[in-house]
Structure 1
Amino acid sequence: MPLRTFILLVILICSAFAKAQTSRAYSNEFLNIGVDAAALGMSNAVVAKTGNANSGYWNPAGLMRLEQKELSLMHANYFANIAQYNYGSYAMPIDDQSAFGFSIIRFSVDDILNTTQLIDDQGNINYDRISTFSTADWAFTASYARESKLDGFSYGGNVKVIRRVIGDFASSIGFGLDLGLQMERGEWSFGLMARDITTTYNTWSIDEEAYASVSGAVENQNQELPETTEITLPKLQLGAAREFTFHYDHVLTAEVDLNMRFIQTNDVISSSAVSATPAIGLEYGYTNLVFVRAGVGNFQNVQQPDGNEDVTFQPNIGIGFKYKGISINYALTDIGDSSAAIYSNIFSLNVDLSVFSR
């Protein structure tokens, strides 16, 4: 099957599922935050060029670029350190034709005060009745990639299990599939990442008694429980990248991605069938030792108090250092507070595990 036909088929499948399932516009949004400070510094414009242990997240086809076993770790704080985002991945080549990866994401808010029992039936305040609980979103992903017989073409897929827990009140389990493609032609690289291609279902189990204790429910009032099924609609990312080499030691990589969702949103390109926003990323590397990165993405039409719409965007910057197979990267996201997102300082570590066997 020609590559163009295959890509068109993926788009049609995603569109068909999106039209058939519309119970939730947004769910599992923690999976859209992104991983790896190097990628975040480029505003997530890495679908075509990704090629390390983080490829399981960005595009599993990129695992075919691995030469050795790799480990990647990332930690970030969001919302003034209220929320914690932790990520780890491991990937390795199986042989010359295939590769495997595994990753874990945990996004959590811990030690939330539960004050619903602070005042008893008599109106007395008792601080001993205050308790705490945590909410955590987990994602476990297994990735597989394979090189095609077509020169420069690789493909891969993810199987992911999603576990979400809200104290003792509710929990859910979900399953999803992703598909990724990459193709290299000279200095050019092209990528496609289709997330949740069959839609991802989360089924919730709610403890009605515990839920009533925190929802303020009283007899014959506020008794309606939340929905017990969430459906995550497909998303599609298309990317094109080119590498420029100057005097051997200086390498500039530029990538442009188009992030598509099959629902109407505030993205700069928006219709009832599909919405899209571009992302542009740049990386300058010197002797494969020092890296400087910049990117801009998340272009949104935001309505202002006066009723007019303005286009907001999210600019990011980052730096990185690599020595003997160990990479340390830093990203500052949403510099200048140009979008509705809150800026964050993000650090990540990538280790070529072969350095420990030399």
Structure 2
Amino acid sequence: MIFATEIFMLLKRKILLFILLFFSFLKAQSFRNCSNEFLNIGVDAAALGMSKAVVASTNNVNSIYWNPAGLVGIKDYQGSLMHADYFAGIANYNHAAFAMPIDKECALSISIIRFGVDDILNTTELIDREGNIDFNKISLFSAADYAFNIAYARNIILKNIKFGVNAKIVRRTIGDFASSLGFGFDLGIQFEKNNWKFGLMARDITTTFNNWAINTIEFDKIKNAIPGQNQELPETTEITKPKLQIGIARSFKVNPLFSLLTEIDLNIHFTETNDILSSEYGSIDPAIGLRSGYYDLVYLRAELGNFQNTSQFDTTTTLTLQPNFGLGFNYKGIQIDDALTNIGGVGNALFSNVFSITFDYTFLRT
């Protein structure tokens, strides 16, 4: 009897925790000035190993995310796959992309990003009003975010000036409880002169809106779980403000066998944050990337990014940064990359391995 009572109390606490998390999530959506944070993580282990400092130098299928102007650099059909664990495997982050040249001047690409937590226990109906427990009432659901992208790029004005635009549809779901739909646009430009490369990426240039729809039937099941709380549906509009990334890169040919690429990017937010350079008008977070290559076969990357002013318990602030490391192998159109990085980019989370593969149609012809 005592054992059953303990189980009952434990399950009751879990239900209460779920309800609190659910409503805190919904309230966080109400007219937020930032949203779709999963789209800030990034794609491609090679780019993540460069601390995301690739806006000026990106030139393959993954340019659809980093700077769509770089898609002009592809010469054949290309595809890309990436997988990463998030929060020690609690969540999964996946990306797939395809790109193709239309002609010598322009290219087209599509991609999908999914960030999700699967097999979450739904215990909202586990205990009835009489206090009876029925384990058959437990079900599973997923909380997942999706982004569907389509990008177009071409040379404009001069041959070495590239332009690209990316349209994205964002779909977010929390099981049967709530879902949202949003859309936005990104704009990118690249310029190349000799061994110098310049890039500009403007994200969410029209401001991205997400509108949430809450399942009122599911809401009614849990709204009275905490007396006097959560009696009304929260407002459910998200707003993602524009962000700007500026990059400059320089490539070097050390000798016939060794090459070197360096890039510095400035990530600009039009709001005050903990970035190393911040004011009420905006903030700037620099990222520094370095890649060395051997015969265009093996690549080694080591970079620094995410420079933040972190508050301490004694009210002082300390500058923190995030190192990133990566290794890549390229052979006959197949490129395999692995990055050691904190894809969350926040706090003192453990580093994890991010794996990706990029391939083009040329490997089928050899």
TM-score by length of 2: 0.88
Q: CA deviation at 1:274?
A: 0.8
1:104 to 105, 108, 112: 112
Specify whether residues 221 and 167 from structure 1 end up closer, same or farther in structure 2 by C-alpha distance, changes over 3 A only: same
Kept after mapping to 1: 8 A contact 2:223/2:229: no
Q: Structure 1 CA distance, aligned partners of 2:105 and 2:346?
A: 44
Aligned to 2:335: 327
| Structure 1 ranges of 4+ moved more than 6 A | none
Q: 1:12 — aligned with what?
A: none
Does the 8 A contact of 2:32 with 2:237 survive in 1?
A: no
Q: State the secondary structure of the residue aligned to 1:56.
A: helix
* Letter matched to residue 232 of structure 2: E
Q: Distance in 2 between matches of 1:289 and 1:239?
A: 25
Question: What code does the residue aligned with 1:71 have?
Answer: G
Structure 2 match to 1:119: 127
Equivalences for 1:21-36 in 2 at 5 Å?
23-36=31-44
Q: Does 1:307 align with 2:315?
A: yes
Q: How much does 1:116 deviate?
A: 2.8
Report the AA paired with residue 122 of structure 1.
Answer: E
2:151 to 136, 143, 148: 143
User: 2:332·2:362 contact (CA, 8 Å) conserved in 1?
Assistant: no
Which structure 2 residue ranges, 5 or more long, are not aligned?
1-29
2:39 counterpart SS class: helix
Report the CA distance between 1:119 and its aligned residue: 2.5
Aligned CA-pair RMSD: 1.8
CA drift at 1:269: 1.0
CA-to-partner distance for each residue in 1:326-347, whole Å, 9 max, x for gaps?
Answer: 0000000049x99434422100
Q: For 1:355, what is the secondary structure of its paired residue?
A: helix
Equivalent residue number for residue 93 of structure 2: 85
> Is residue 326–residue 340 contact of structure 2 (8 Å, CA) maintained in 1?
yes
Q: Deviations over 1:73-132 (max 9, x none)?
A: 001111010101110000111111111111100111001112233322122333222221
Tell me if the contact between 1:217 and 1:223 (Cα under 8 Å) persists in the aligned partners: no
Relative to structure 2, which stretch is displaced further, 177-186 or 299-308? 299-308
Query: What CA distance in whole angstroms lies between the structure 2 residues aligned with 1:135 and 1:71?
Result: 27
**Structure 1 position 66, deviation (Å):** 0.7
The two structures have a TM-score, normalised by structure 1, of: 0.90
Matching residue's letter, 1:43: S
Q: Is the 2:55–2:200 Cα contact (8 Å) retained in structure 1? A: yes
Residue correspondence of structure 1 range 153-168 to structure 2 within 5 A: 153-168=161-176
Structure 1 spans left out of the alignment, 5+ residues: 1-21
Choose 1 or 2 for highest CA Rg: 2
Distance 2:67 2:112 in 1: 15
1:151-300 equivalent positions in 2, closer than 5 A = 151-214=159-222, 217=225, 221-300=229-308
Q: Residues 185 and 350 from structure 1, CA distance in 2 versus in 1: closer, same or farther, beyond 3 angstroms?
A: same
Equivalent AA in structure 1 for residue 192 of structure 2: E
Distance change in 2, residues 1:109/1:334 (3 Å): closer
Check conservation: 2:309, 2:317, Cα contact below 8 A.
Answer: yes
Question: 1:185 deviation in Å?
Answer: 1.2
Identity %: 57
Cα separation, partners in 2 of 1:214 and 1:281, compared to 1, 3 Å: farther
- 2:196 touches 2:250 (CA, 8 Å); kept in 1? yes
Between the two proteins, the alignment pairs up a number of residues equal to 336
- Aligned partners of 1:90, 1:32: CA distance in 2, in Å? 20
Give the distance between the partners of 1:216 and 1:114, measured in 2 at CA.
17
> AA paired with 1:228?
T
**Partner amino acid for 1:310?**
T
